[in-house]
Structure 1
Amino acid sequence: MIERIETGIAPSSAPINDAIRAGQHVWLVAIAEDPITGEIVAGGIEAQARRCMQNIEISVRAAGGTLANLVMVQIFLVDSADAPGMNLVYREFITQQPYPVRATVVVKELLAKGLRIEITAQAVLD
């Protein structure tokens, strides 16, 4: 059974979800969007990466887990020069071993204007 996880981040009227659960598995996606205003966070990569990780944390908690339940993280950046700043923020959030498997990919652009990062993740809940 597939279940939409209500996080309060993705608009309920849109044909998208930011968290889906199937059994013990949860798939998550986050952009640097403020969940209150719906606006892309201003600032550089660190501000956007922090908002993305906060949104991932909100979503995994809404599913009943924590960041320690993440098993895979995929990060999409529009500029490889943003990797050091993104890594600094990532280390603030991912602190427990075993660390999730991670892939970082540089892409030409992301859909929302001004967006420098998007993160997808998978979690397994107990």
Structure 2
Amino acid sequence: MIKRIETGIAPSSSPINDAVRAGKHLWLVAIAEDPDTGVIVEGGIEAQARRCIQNLEIAVQAAGGTLANLVMVQIFLIDSADAAGMNAVYREFFTTQPYPVRATVVVKELLAKGLRIEITAQAVLD
């Protein structure tokens, strides 16, 4: 059975979920949107990466887990020059082994105007 996880980030009326659980498996997506205002954060890649990972953390916690439950992270950037800033922020949140497997992809653009990063992840929960 597939269950939508209510995170308080994506509007419940939206046809898009930011977290879905099936058994012990959790699929997540996060963008750099302030959950209080619904606005993409400004301040460059560091600010957007931080907000993205914070939103990812909110979503995994809503399902009863932590970032330590992540097994795979996919990061989408619109500029390869943003990798260093994104990596610096990523290291703030992922500090102990085992780290999730990670792939970083540079894409031409992301759908939301002003968005420099989007993250998808998979987790396994107890």
| TM-score normalised by length of structure 2 | 0.99
Task: Give the drift of 1:13.
Answer: 1.0
Structure 1: 5+ residue stretches without partners: none
Q: CA RMSD in A?
A: 0.4
* Residue of structure 1 equivalent to 2:10: 10
* Residue of structure 2 equivalent to 1:124: 124
List aligned pairs for 1:54-93, cutoff 5 A.
54-93=54-93
Task: Give the drift of 1:27.
Answer: 0.3
* Residue of structure 2 equivalent to 1:39: 39
Percent identity, please.
Answer: 87
Deviations along 1:66-121, whole A, 9 cap, x unmatched? Answer: 00000000000000000000000000011121100000000000000000000000
**CA distance in 1: counterparts of 2:5 and 2:95, whole angstroms:** 24
Task: Give the drift of 1:3.
Answer: 0.4
* Residue of structure 2 equivalent to 1:50: 50
Does residue 95 in structure 1 map to residue 95 in structure 2? yes
**CA distance in 1: counterparts of 2:115 and 2:66, whole angstroms:** 25
**CA distance in 1: counterparts of 2:35 and 2:76, whole angstroms:** 20
Q: After the TM superposition, which parts of structure 1 deviate over 4 Å for at least 4 consecutive aligned residues?
A: none
**CA distance in 2: counterparts of 1:97 and 1:36, whole angstroms:** 32
| TM-score normalised by length of structure 1 | 0.99
Deviations along 1:33-82, whole A, 9 cap, x unmatched? Answer: 00000000011000000000000000000000000000000000000000
Instruction: Read off the aligned partner of 2:91 and give its amino acid letter.
Output: R
SS at match of 1:20: strand
**CA distance in 2: counterparts of 1:67 and 1:17, whole angstroms:** 18
Corresponding residue pairs, total: 126
**CA distance in 2: counterparts of 1:19 and 1:44, whole angstroms:** 25
